[in-house]
Structure 1
């Protein structure tokens, strides 16, 4: 029973992570089409969005094994 509870918590955490990415993409799309302005969001939300973007960019840079300038044979 306790094992099931922990598994459900893990499943929910994984779903939350995916849903957060969907929300980020939605916010970006709304900003891009002019339906939402960054100034419409509270400062705490702006900081959290900015931190996630910075973290994702650092991760993407760390995973970029071949830079765009490298020649591919």
Structure 2
């Protein structure tokens, strides 16, 4: 569910989530070019217990993505 919500929020980019015991790593990338746009490691799964905490994470990832992407985010529609 977490991966699906993150993928939906950042379309047309893709995301790859690698789960550990109590944390996960996230990579947001362009599927066509393979270009990595954002990597975040060691995020604690326990902090994502409610829909609002997942929404907050997505919002924070969006800010990070805008700061690290030259072309900006979200894409022009």
Task: Report the TM-score when normalising by structure 2.
Answer: 0.32
| Larger strand fraction of residues | 2
| Larger helix fraction of residues | 1
Greater RCO (CA < 8 Å, at least 6 residues apart): 2
Choose 1 or 2 for highest CA Rg.
1
Task: Report the TM-score when normalising by structure 1.
Answer: 0.33
